[in-house]
Chains A and B, each alone.
Chain A
Amino acid sequence: MNELEHLFNSASSLRVIELVVALLVTAQFTLQLTSRKLSASYRIAILGFPRSGKTTMITALFAYMFRRGINGTPVLPRGEETINRINANLEALDLSLPVKPTTDQDVFAYRAEIRFKSFVFSEHYKLEIGDFPGEDTVLFAEKHGPWLHNTGYFQWAIGADAFIFVIDAGMVVLDKSGEYAARQKSALRAAWQRLQDQYLDGTGPLSKRPLLLVFTKADEYIELNSASLGSETPETPKNSPSRRQAKPDEVIECELAMKSHFADLIEYFERESSRFETIVESVYLKVGSERLGIPEIARRVMPRQKSWLRHLNLFR
């Protein structure tokens, strides 16, 4: 107490207070200036087998964000390549043409800028969604060895902020032997365990990251399932599916069927992650004016605007 009294009574105490005020003003100014120039990186890793609909989902996600933003905040594509690819893929989607699968040659990160504005703190995010070929996911989940650590996909995945695991719902119906579902379960469980083992910031932060299990191509599931119920032989769906409104009961049926097929995997993820969700998605089924599942994916996986108190914690 004597020291404090001494501090406040001495002639230098005024200078100390002045310095503290100047320090706080400088800190606030620096934070505002640097955050505006350097957006925080936010990476979304998508894991799914080849041709499970990853690129199509990314395209639909961007189409949704361009129109709606994130909580009303605009999403601005970043870089010429992102703009070109997104628009070329969107054109294919609009024409109900399949989006070209990603190969080793066109590994790429879709990039966008999100700027949440507020009175006290503005937040800028640099969103990156890595579009890797499905073969990389197979390697990540099913193979191992020191070489894997040097692959771009591995390095991307172990530093990501959110994870989307993709399963092709249509293939689940097509494969009557159950081999596809069993392989998916085993591979995605192994991928998560590998992430837990190698995640750069440890398992604690990983369990708090958004984790989605997305069942893509719900339209194919519905089409194939109704064909098999009508005693017709299920066939591979046609290449140019048509867009239509989703009926609530068929979507619920698809969701329940997927949850039943993957019950043990879902229970496992629910225990491992506090932000786990399952979503049924289709770019050809619409709910109102939106593609099925896309608004939910955007809501669950995209960065959120933090309250001003959470800004004091610089680490996410």
Chain B
Amino acid sequence: MADEKPSTWAWVVVHLGYPLLPVPLEGLIRYVVSGWTFDFDTFNAATLAISAGLISVFVNQSLRTQASILPDPEEDDERSGTCVGFMALGIIFFALFAVVTLMYALVGRISPSPDWMKQILQGFQAVVFVIWIVPIIFALVAQRAFKLRASII
């Protein structure tokens, strides 16, 4: 019974930890395989983008399913606005995932690939590596604002 109690910690693990897990795992595998060296390709921008997109969708669902105990129209409005924000982030990250994956595929397919194509790929990679933090911080702030909790069964 005690383990099934919803808690903040479980919410963070379920909504942030699990979706982000592939990123460090993939990075670790690449780090080991590449002879214990870090480079720009150790972490994959496409994996990071899909993880950030999944976080946005998970938090959106958590917000939708957890109702207020006492009615408050203002909080309901805030909740709806936050839901829309996470949905928008989800769409952005899924689109980034699609673009980065497409660019990876094109660069790998065309040999030798033109420089402009590599530059576009690197540009999108940089965008993902910089903005992936946005849904994570937004999620933590939303958790505090709406007291979101989950249980690990």
Contact = CB atoms under 8 A, between A and B. Distances in A.
Interface string B9-21: 1001000000000
B141 interface: yes
Interface in B91-128: 126
A201 B7 contact: yes
Contacts, number: 92
Interface string B57-92: 000000000000110111100100010000000000
Nearest to A161: B147
Chain A interface bracket (under 10, 10 to 19, 20 to 34, 35 or more) = 35 or more
A159 interface: yes
B141 A31 contact: yes
Given A12-B39, A79-B72, A41 B138 contact: no
A98 to B, nearest CB: 24
B141 A3 contact: no
A155 B140 CA distance: 22
Given A23-B129, A26-B131, A7 B38 contact: yes
Nearest to A202: B7
Interface string A178-196: 0000000000000000000
A130 interface: yes
17 contacts: A3-B37, A15-B40, A19-B129, A23-B129, A26-B134, A27-B137, A30-B134, A34-B141, A38-B142, A39-B145, A41-B145, A108-B70, A109-B72, A156-B69, A159-B69, A200-B5, A314-B141
Interface of B: 5-9, 12, 36-40, 69-70, 72-75, 78, 82, 126, 129-131, 133-134, 137-138, 140-142, 144-147, 149
For the complex of A and B, the 3 pairs showing the least CB-CB separation, nearest first, are A38-B145, A40-B144, A34-B141
